[in-house]
Amino acid sequence: MSSVAGNKKRTNVTLSADLLEQAKAFGINLSATFDKALGEAVKEKQRKLFLEENQQAMDSCNAFTEKAGLFSQGRGVL
């Protein structure tokens, strides 16, 4: 795989032939579309991983808040 302009890299993908032809007919930029979709998929996986890794801390914080209440409670402060 060779590099393309900037920090992009060429790669090969396998696609449905019909879908590829339709995308070409509509003038869809495959590289931009894949880049955006892959970025969103990675971001979602990172979000899920963060939540999994930090669930115990969030549960602990929520339990403390349930027990002790919020600092702003009863003080008219948000």
Report pLDDT digits (tens) over 29-71: 999 999 999 999 999 999 999 999 999 999 999 999 888 888 7
Is 22 a member of any domain?
yes
Phi/psi at 9 (5° precision) = -140, 140
Among the listed residues 37, 5, 66, the one whose alpha carbon sits nearest the alpha carbon of residue 28:
37
Q: Check residues 76 and 49 and name the one with the higher pLDDT.
A: 49
Is 9 a member of any domain?
no
Overall domain count for the chain: 1
Of the listed ranges 1-5, 8-12, 41-45, 56-60, the least confidently predicted one is: 1-5
Is 27 a member of any domain?
yes
State the pTM of this model: 0.68
Is 6 a member of any domain?
no
Cα–Cα distance measured from residue 31 to residue 39, given in angstroms and rounded to the nearest whole number: 12
Cα–Cα distance measured from residue 58 to residue 47, given in angstroms and rounded to the nearest whole number: 14
Is 39 a member of any domain?
yes
1: confidence class by pLDDT, cuts 50, 70, 90: low
**E strands in 1-78:** none
Is 52 a member of any domain?
yes
Range of the domain at 40: 17-68
